[in-house]
Structure 1
Amino acid sequence: MPFAISAAAAILAAVLCVWLRPLLVRYALARPNARSSHKVPTPQGGGIAVLAGAFLALALGLWLSPLEGEAGRTLLVVALAATALAVVGAWDDIRPLPAGLRLVLQAACVGFVLFRAAPELRLFPELMPLALERALALLAGVWFVNLVNFMDGLDWITLAGIVPLTGALALAGGYGIVDPLTGWLAAAICGGLVGFAPFNRPVARLFLGDVGSLPIGLVTAYLLYRLAGTGAFAAALILPLYHVADSTITLLRRLLRGERVWEAHRSHFYQQATANGFSVMAVVGQVFLLNLVLAGLAAVALAVPGLPTQFACVALAVMLTGLLLRRFATGPRHG
């Protein structure tokens, strides 16, 4: 069923991209500026097709093959929160919102998923009280929503990061590592992004926009939270490591320089890479390959129990991610 859901989501997303693009050209053009990677006005809003395709495919899958328990209610909670965040993103795409208001609305959506879709989930019940764990999970969720948005600044870069991650989680669902709905949801997001891929291929004819990157970040954060809740914390840390490292290190550097971190910029490592001589395809290709390797390391961490294996997989993942970040920062001649 996960493969069928992924295929259906891809087809639906592609059809919706074709149907929506003329409207987006008219009403949602992203015009290039000093911080943009594109050089000509390009429609944004492809995330509408990705999300709609994913959730329609999921609804069809649940109708044809209902899951036990509260799968339908959980899916409804996630879909409502993602839709609300998509509305926030769409508004911000057309008429930018104040940074404080954006953050409050994002926190509300993350909190809704955290407390309504996973109220029973505990990651560290023996290390910290529930209130502290929930506060940290909320903070991490809001950061993940934003970092996926920050990283969506180059054609195919979000696909290079999220497709291997969601593909790996779909397989985890198939093997019973996570619950079936989590696997189906991962397969649907993976398929929706694959259906969007031809339109975002460099040079892109369509962008995700905040309407897509924000809710995709929310759903992906929820998927990783579910994975971590099975005890696979190392795997949940490894899978998104490139996106987390690039965005977090960049944020800390900007804070140390006293910059306004809520404003757009071009100082991410993947942006430095294009300035240092890498082509767009070279950048996204290397990010994609790294994420495939990270997925493999996450699989090893899941398959071989024990702290030594977990530590070794995380350490190797950190080393490989650091090497790619350094290569991007110094250019191909110094890689």
Structure 2
Amino acid sequence: MSVAALSLSTAVLILIASAAMSYGLLLLLRPLLLRYALALPNARSSHKIPTPQGAGIGVIAATVAISALAALALDGIANGTLWIVLTATIGIAIVGAVDDIRPVPVLPRLLLQAAAVAAILIAIPADARVVPMLPFWPERLLLGLGAVWFVNLTNFMDGIDWITAAETVPVTAFIALFGVFGATSPTEAVVALALCGAMIGFAPLNRPVAKMFLGDVGSLAIGLLMAWMLVELAGRGHLAAAILLPLYYLADATLTLLRRLSRGETIWIAHRTHFYQRATQNGFSVMETVTRIFAVNVVLGLLALATMIWAGLDAQIVALACGVALVTWLLFIFNRGRASAS
């Protein structure tokens, strides 16, 4: 079964089912999270009132359940890769859930994340090569390190209302769309649609001012799923698209990490120095900030789509250059504040 054979009605059904399940679960979970998983404001947080965290439980439960049900209902989807990826997702979500309630020390947390990443790399076919000039195992090691970083940066970037939805919805929507060009498998398309729908179901409850936060249970698992899909995309020869889709997140988180390292700061301690956090400190409202991030992510998705339509090296270089310029502009605007946007 090709992704193109995944009809529009089927795709819409997966989206709606996942959104409805996610939203319904979150309504049921909210009283429990209010009692046991309340995030209290502190000097480093962006919220001002106690807010329940752990909404990722509903988002990931809906993603896993709808992915599994769709796989069983559609020919050619239920395979070893899917079950490995969903199991790893559940595993890292459990790590995040524990960390939401009682913080897990850094080293055990990283080791458990690395185990989940190793599982998704095992699930990726051996002939899926991102950097073919490297020997297989050094390449896989580099991909593993990159995926662990992506899992953590997704967690680090989940610092204001709606930002993870503004990232995840465009990325997963475009990954599902790329199936028309054979760039994603039916398995990836189904999981992308399920995750996209689950985040849409979460969005009304996370709209500023949020009634619920994802928590580590959600952000870590979302990072893992997106890392898997992006590595698969790059492994099919679409490296430019795999870089473009998450480029804002990659740039904001990585530049912030390098800046903090240069200052000798403890990088795993919560802070408020990401570019999107600076934006809210420099005159932009949360809605203005996430709207700009969402718009940039949509344009990045269109640039990634352009590399599918015009597959030559020149087109990929032009698309990457445009993406870098766009993200650089947004980071500059966020860093300088509202005056620079006028």
Is 1:302 the counterpart of 2:308 in the alignment? yes
**Percent sequence identity over matched residues?**
51
The C-alpha deviation readout for 1:280-302, integer Å capped at 9, x for no partner, is 00000000000000000000011
SS of aligned partner of 1:96: coil
* 1:201-220 superposed matches below 5 A: 201-220=207-226
| SS of residue paired to 1:270 | helix
**How much does 1:112 deviate?**
1.1
Query: Could you say which residue in structure 1 is the equivalent of 2:270?
Result: 264
Question: Counterpart in 1 of 2:244?
Answer: 238
Check the 8 A contact 1:166/1:190 in 2, yes or no.
Answer: yes
Match of 1:113 among 120, 129, 140: 120
- Name the residue aligned to 2:89: 82
Cα offset, 1:173, TM superposition: 2.0
Q: Secondary structure at the match of 1:264?
A: coil
Q: CA deviation at 1:119?
A: 4.1
The C-alpha deviation readout for 1:24-80, integer Å capped at 9, x for no partner, is 111100111100000011001111111111121112212222326xx4322111111
2:51 to 36, 42, 48: 42
1:6 aligns with 2:12: no
Rounded Cα–Cα distance in structure 1 between residues aligned with 2:213 and 2:318: 37
Task: State the shift of 1:176 in Å.
Answer: 2.7
Q: Partner amino acid for 1:194?
A: I
1:116 Cα deviation from its structure 2 partner? 3.1
1:55 to 39, 64, 75: 64
1:226-268 CA distance string (max 9 Å, x none): 1111101000000000000000000000000000001100000
User: Matched residues in 1 for 2:93 and 2:69: separation?
Assistant: 21
Tell me which residue corresponds to 1:221.
Answer: 227
**1:315 is matched with which residue?**
321
Does the CA-based 8 Å contact 2:167-2:297 persist in structure 1? Answer: yes
CA distance in 2, matches of 1:185, 1:162: 12
What residue in structure 2 maps to residue 331 of structure 1?
337
| Residue of structure 2 in register with 1:287 after alignment | 293
State the SS of the aligned residue for 1:314. helix
Q: Distance in 1 between matches of 2:131 and 2:335?
A: 36
Conserved in 2, the CA contact under 8 Å of 1:77 and 1:117? no
Check if 1:138 corresponds to 2:144: yes
Maintained 8 Å contact 2:39/2:53: yes
The count of residues paired between Structure 1 and Structure 2 equals 332
1:185 is matched with which residue: 181, 191, 195?
191
- SS of match in other structure, 1:169: helix
CA contact (8 A) 2:96 2:215 kept: yes
Question: Normalising by structure 1, what TM-score?
Answer: 0.97
* Structure 2 gap segments, 5+ residues each: 1-9
Map of 1:99 onto structure 2? 106
Task: Provide the C-alpha distance between the structure 2 equivalents of 1:81 and 1:241, rounded to a whole number of angstroms.
Answer: 24
Q: Deviations over 1:195-215 (max 9, x none)?
A: 000000000000000000001
Q: CA RMSD in A?
A: 1.1
* Residues 181 and 308 in structure 2, CA contact (< 8 A), matched pair in contact too: no
Letter in 1 for 2:26: C
* Correspondence 1:17 to 2:23: no
Q: Secondary structure at the match of 1:231?
A: coil
Q: Distance in 2 between matches of 1:47 and 1:173?
A: 26
Q: State the SS of the aligned residue for 2:79.
A: helix
The corresponding residue for 1:122 is: 129
What residue in structure 1 maps to residue 169 of structure 2? 163
Tell me the TM-score normalised to structure 2 length: 0.95
| SS of residue paired to 1:212 | helix
Deviation at 1:117, TM superposition (A): 4.3
